[in-house]
Structure 1
Amino acid sequence: MLEKRTLSTEKVSLKPLSEHHLDELFNAGQDPALWRWILDNYCKTPQTLSEWFHNSAQFDAQQQLVMGIYCNTQQRIVGTTRLFRLDKHNLSAEIGHTFVGVPWQRSCINTHSKYLLLKYAFETLKLVRITFGTHENNQQSRDAIARLGAQFEGIQYKNRKLVDGSFRNSALFSIIDEQWPELKQQLEAKL
């Protein structure tokens, strides 16, 4: 089981998502633009968010760690992210299911969040590979992943079924353990 622990920098804390975070998460998720590329808008209503929290966010603690993104300066939850699909045999995982409320996008929030998860994955869990995936047409997300130093690997076709029944093609990126020391220095310079 992944240890539930808070990960922090000076500006951002990743806190294991709990029920008392849901009101702030709901407020952060109210801009419809957030949900264009995400599989399902779980911030539609407080009830939808509660169902998502109990059914999706709590799914398989052996393979995922769901975190609330907490802005330390504003003292509030501004989004969510997770480490998931932990493969203990192959020492790999994925980082994603991320959303950051529109007022905090293009700020330091995403960089700090991803830095914390990458550091935890490579240095604490001793993983050798982290992958990222996003909708192939979500250029803003693709650019954010590339800015982290992740390498584009290609398009995975029809790998995610969307709420409307259609399928998404995903742009896949990765970072491996040999790349981490240099990328860590670059990210720390940005922090």
Structure 2
Amino acid sequence: MQIPHLENEYVKLSLLDLSNYKHLAAIAEEKDLIYYSPSAISPPEKLKEYVQLAVDAYYHKTAIPFLIYNKKKQAYAGCTRFGLINHKNKVLYIGWTWISKDFQGSGLNTQVKFLMLQYAFETLQFDKVAFKVDERNLRSRKAIEKIGGTFEGLLRKDTRMRDGFKRNTCYYGILKEEWPEIKKTIFNGF
């Protein structure tokens, strides 16, 4: 799988691996950064395990994990990933995104999602990009809706959280045929 080059004047996404994940160490320690995630990224050993799983998935061609670099602030801001890549059905998920509180609400995540959606639809020629999010995570749900994601349903009690709670998961999607209009209206000027 070719390593994608995703970059614009605001953000650069580079392949996340065990040689560069330490750029995320301080961010991973931020309190409640991934409260709604079933994964753990702190302490440092958990962050390394998290990245190792992403790297393993990359080598199995089911994920492409990225390190997010804010070019304007010249600082690492977090990470994100294409995951659950299904080459046969041309469907992939965007998620596993966590961004430092210093960059939340800055528009950085919208820049990241634009580059990822553009790559998924225009370069990979995939038919669908999907998102899954904890039903309680209203901020993420609104962000997905803001970039054109359509709510497709709720899977009840389908994911066990770190504290043992079984969450309900909201599923959203964007179809290839919807992308041109979303690109023109929501991402106008990107």
TM-score range, shorter chain: over 0.9
Percent identical residues: 30
| Structure 2 Cα separation of the partners of residues 63 and 7 of structure 1 | 18
| Structure 1 Cα separation of the partners of residues 74 and 20 of structure 2 | 12
| Structure 2 Cα separation of the partners of residues 83 and 116 of structure 1 | 12
Aligned position for 1:13: 12
| Structure 2 Cα separation of the partners of residues 101 and 21 of structure 1 | 17
Which amino acid letter does the alignment assign opposite residue 65 of structure 1? I
| Structure 2 Cα separation of the partners of residues 21 and 167 of structure 1 | 33
| Structure 1 Cα separation of the partners of residues 50 and 62 of structure 2 | 17
Which amino acid letter does the alignment assign opposite residue 178 of structure 1? E
Residues 172-187 of structure 1: matches in 2 within 5 Å? 172-187=171-186
Q: How many angstroms does 1:76 deviate by?
A: 2.3
Question: Normalized against structure 2, the TM-score is what?
Answer: 0.92
Which amino acid letter does the alignment assign opposite residue 27 of structure 2? A
Residues 100-119 of structure 1: matches in 2 within 5 Å? 100-119=99-118
Q: Which runs of 5+ in 2 are unaligned?
A: none
| Structure 2 Cα separation of the partners of residues 178 and 17 of structure 1 | 30
Which amino acid letter does the alignment assign opposite residue 48 of structure 1? K
Which amino acid letter does the alignment assign opposite residue 8 of structure 2? T
| Structure 2 Cα separation of the partners of residues 143 and 23 of structure 1 | 30
Aligned position for 1:99: 98
Which amino acid letter does the alignment assign opposite residue 136 of structure 1? E
| Structure 2 Cα separation of the partners of residues 46 and 120 of structure 1 | 31
Aligned residues: 188
| Structure 2 Cα separation of the partners of residues 41 and 186 of structure 1 | 36
| Structure 1 Cα separation of the partners of residues 25 and 73 of structure 2 | 16
Cα root mean square deviation, aligned: 1.5
Aligned position for 1:49: 47
Aligned position for 2:170: 171
Residues 1-191 of structure 1: matches in 2 within 5 Å? 1=1, 3-42=2-41, 44-54=42-52, 56-61=53-58, 62-189=61-188, 191=190
Question: Normalized against structure 1, the TM-score is what?
Answer: 0.92
Instruction: Please say if residues 115 and 187 of structure 1, whose CA atoms lie closer than 8 Å, have aligned partners that are also in contact.
Output: no
Q: How many angstroms does 1:53 deviate by?
A: 1.6
| Structure 2 Cα separation of the partners of residues 188 and 138 of structure 1 | 23
Q: How many angstroms does 1:18 deviate by?
A: 2.6
Aligned to 2:187, the other structure's residue is in SS state helix
